Structure 1
Amino acid sequence: MNKNMELGHRLVKQLDVLAGEGWPGPACHVYRCNLQRSPRTHRLLNTTFHQAHLVGSPLYMRMLEASQLTARQRLSLILDRHLGARVEWTGFLQLTSHDYQLDPTISPLAPFYAEFRQLVRDAYPGTAGLRADELGHRLHLFRAYLDHQAITYVRAYTDGLPDEACDLDRLYQFAHDHHVALDFQTAAAYHNRQHGPAVYPRNMKVQLRRNSYARRVNPARMIEFIVDIDSGDFVSEWNVYRSQPNGRVDADPHHYTAADLYQVANTESFNYGIPHGGYFVWPRDRQSHRRLDIDQPTDSRIRARAKGYWKTPRLYADLVKGPRDVLAWRLVPASVRTQLYAAFVHDTQTHRNQGINYFLLKSPRYRCYHVGRGCDKMRPS
């Protein structure tokens, strides 16, 4: 058998495998056409076949777009057929596939995220949101894996940064390098859960991207990062989850301490809907965040246990509405913070919350902690 015949037989076998994995004919046609761009070799066949099994890769997304499947069918193909998404006894979603995985190289700005979000919005337009069926339940739990992708990418971002750079420094650098504006305006009360009387917030929320006017495939305030204001490091359930020998997540809540559960309770959460924040939302999408992100299906047991122990504060105001608020709060001594925060919360009940730094400016007693524009060393472009 000559080389061309051998390569042809390999391609036929690959197409048979892809069809058996749920890819319709039009998607397989895209796969075949992708191989025609370069001289066909065994190495090219291996690389292309591998790319087709990375969920979110450019080739995977082209095949998905060409598949002619409905939004719901595409979501089921991704989660059920390809990633092997299964809800185990702990209520945690495990990805069991040995053949497919989320593409570990895709940036938080990759088209995959906004396109996946649009599929969810198209498949679940009703008032029940993701509570409508079991696929919706799996999609709710799957957002944790989308979060993991984003925080892992940012934590590995090293362009011009020292090894000791915190997560927030890396996020700022990433945004600066890619000319992306970050959002600091969306409320972070659900990410400042505390046990016992609330003293003051420890965490802030940063979302990517800040704004978009796109009617479809809108990336606004989709990926979020929860940041410890003092340390600048991400607060995330993925900081504490441990892997089992089979590679799956150990999601037994009894295997984790209260301190571990703090990370789970206050973790980031990928937004399928579009949060208001301080920016634009098309009228038809103004309930999407509530339908798809706030009114949720059942959580995993570890998340439910974490939220049962760590409670959302009743009296609350976001300290951070912009980067200078981070710098200002870090200047405030621990001995002053409780009293200052109480005064700040009281002020926000009658005045618009413009962040702690603005409050410091207009408060003679605390003005010494105010950070002016000339001192802003952390503001992203």
Structure 2
Amino acid sequence: MAKIKNVVLASQKRDVADACARAIGVGEQLIEAMRPHYSVESLEYIAYLAVGRTMILYGESLELAYQKHVKSSRRTNANSKVFERQMQIVESLENLLNTGLQSIEKMHQLSDVDWTWITQINARWYARKFGIQQSATMTDQAFNRCLLELMNMAHRLMEAGWDQSAIQAYSNHAKHHLETLSDIYEETQRVGSPTYLRLFHASGYSAKEKVALVMQQMGARIDTNGMLQLTGYRFDPQMPPHSVFLERFAATVKAAYPRGLDSEKNPDVSKEVLKIIHQFRMYIDRQNIRYVRMFFEGATDLEKLLVYGQTHRLLFSQTSRLHNRFSDQHAFSGQINDKVTTKNGLSEFIVNVETGEFVTQWDVLQEKNGQVGIFSDDYQPDSLAGKKMVETESFNYSKNPQEHPLFDVIPANAKKGLEHDLKIAAKKYWKSETWVVNGGRYVEKYTKKSDYKIFEK
């Protein structure tokens, strides 16, 4: 390093600039010159590309070293360690360049050539591309390890279906968290996590492609019972019912299918795709139910929900008519269940006001070997369990009065064939009452939180 150091110390600004420009120019010319002559997968291409990148990195590092030398020479109390550190980088690049040139000379003696220098250069090039800086406390070995890990993560994200815009957003975020890279990457496989949201938002895919990507990553498929199964990624357990991701996903669904989810309005879309997107809401419901039950204290589901509502506003004014059913064997007894929604009206909970428990199909459905369904002979669609199956909550893709029927109400009609078979069968027995003003018997008894019995004191 002493030779290079002396050159830098003795050089004038113009001399250094010329030397750096030549190194960078040679690197760029080398990269451009060899492209037409080699396959992008050939060893020659990879080797020459790495040499070209090394020349550019070398020139830029040499120029930076000179800048730090000039800066330190102007200050009496300047820290020479910064300059020394930069010179170590220059020397390292020079060594890699020499190794690269020697490797190319021995191109056809594969057994005698060490190609690890290419990996090191590609890692440094990745750092240059995304402006990744090595902290003062991180060793060279640890930094190189992080760079290689980041490159590997970027490759895996590509395999998972993300486009370059999303991958770049991930790299720009991850470079600030080099000490916890594994945690950041793990979030990419938890739908709705802060990191997953970052990728979803940054992606340049169309709305329809984004929806399809989420379904693909979560392993969405319709089973022989017409029910959606998710066998891939899972929701982030800490994703709340009011999450930004759920809002953006709902908006993306609306943008992807502006005519709604009715198959009659989408003749160019397969019914299975529409069925998957429609039933996907029930898995959002499961996440919401689990979130409230897991993270909040209370003797009942309602008490836990109200604790959640202390920090995130809840609405109690939505109609609950479709969530209070009756059958030939079980007469209509007025409103017992009430609908509670998040402020944005998307996530909803159905609460039995008398017991304080959620009314949800997820207390009826069973899970076995990673599959969701009914795996016992005890269940009957005309039973009270079947009643829960149809009175259950349902995430809304829109609360806009014009859009809500198209995305949430009409697709839920059993005749449309988008519901799973268990719910379709139960709806044959459990009917909803019409409003009193229309000649029926239904009256909305609960229109605000204070109407609940637990507040009567």
Q: Tell me which interval the TM-score lies in, with the shorter structure as reference length.
A: 0.7 to 0.9
Rounded to whole Å, the distance in 1 between the matches of 2:235 and 2:261 is 28
Give identity over the alignment, percent. Answer: 30
Distance 1:324 1:8, change over 3 A: closer
Q: In 2, are the aligned partners of 1:252 and 1:302 still within 8 Å (CA)? A: no
Structure 1, residues 231-266: CA drift from partner, whole Å, max 9, x if none? 11100001111111x222124696623222121111
Q: Structure 2: where are the runs of 5+ without partners?
A: 1-115, 117-140, 435-439
Match for residue 158 of structure 2? 19
Distance 1:33 1:203 in 2: 47
In 1, the alpha carbon distance for the partners of 2:386 and 2:364 equals 8
Aligned equivalents of 2:199 and 2:372: distance in 1? 30
Structure 1 partner of 2:259: 126
Contact (CA 8 Å) 1:124, 1:130: kept in 2 or not? Answer: no
CA, structure 1 residues 243+128, in 2 after alignment: closer, same or farther (shift >3 Å)?
A: closer
Q: Which amino acid aligns with 1:60?
A: Y
Partner of 1:341: none
The change in CA–CA distance for 1:127 and 1:264 in structure 2 (over 3 A counts) is closer
Map of 1:189 onto structure 2: 321
CA, structure 1 residues 294+21, in 2 after alignment: closer, same or farther (shift >3 Å)?
Answer: same
Q: Is residue 2:225 matched to residue 1:75? A: no
Cα contact 1:93–1:142 (8 A) shared by 2: yes
Question: Which runs of 5 or more residues in structure 1 are unaligned?
Answer: 210-219, 275-284, 331-374
The answer on whether the counterparts of 2:398 and 2:407 sit within 8 Å (CA) in structure 1 is yes
- Pick from 319, 339, 358 the counterpart of residue 205 of structure 1: 339
Instruction: Confirm or deny: 8 A CA contact 1:92 1:251 kept in the other structure.
Output: no
How many Å separate the matches in 1 of 2:213 and 2:430?
36
> What is the CA RMSD across the aligned residues, in angstroms?
2.1
- The code of the aligned residue for 1:249 comes to V
Distance 2:200 2:224 in 1: 31
Query: Structure 2 length as normaliser, TM-score?
Result: 0.62
Q: Which residue number in structure 2 is paired with residue 273 of structure 1? A: 398
Alignment of 1:306-321 (within 5 A): 306-314=426-434, 315=440, 316-321=442-447
Going by fraction, where is helix more abundant, 1 or 2? 2
- Where does 1:244-323 land on structure 2 (aligned, <5 Å)? 244=368, 246-251=369-374, 256-257=379-380, 258-274=383-399, 285-296=400-411, 297=416, 298-314=418-434, 315=440, 316-323=442-449
State the distance in 2 between where 1:126 and 1:305 align: 27
How far apart in 1 are the matches of 2:294 and 2:142? Answer: 41
The letter of the residue matching 2:372 is V
SS at match of 1:199: coil
1:10, CA displacement in angstroms? Answer: 2.4
1:325 aligns with 2:451: yes
d(CA) in 2 for partners of 1:130, 1:232? 37
Equivalent in 103, 111, 116 of residue 249 of structure 2: 116
Tell which has more relative contact order, 1 or 2 (C-alpha 8 A, sep 6+): 1
- 3-state secondary structure, aligned to 1:295: helix
* 1:152 and 2:290 aligned: yes
1:175 to 294, 309, 322: 309
Amino acid at match of 2:431: K
Larger Rg over CA atoms: 2
How many residues were matched structurally? 298
Q: What TM-score do you get using the length of structure 1 for normalisation?
A: 0.73
Q: CA deviation at 1:138?
A: 0.9
Deviation at 1:45, TM superposition (A): 2.3
Q: Give the alignment partner of residue 226 of structure 1, picking from 329, 350, 372.
A: 350
Deviation at 1:288, TM superposition (A): 0.5
- Distance apart, 1:200 and its partner CA: 1.9
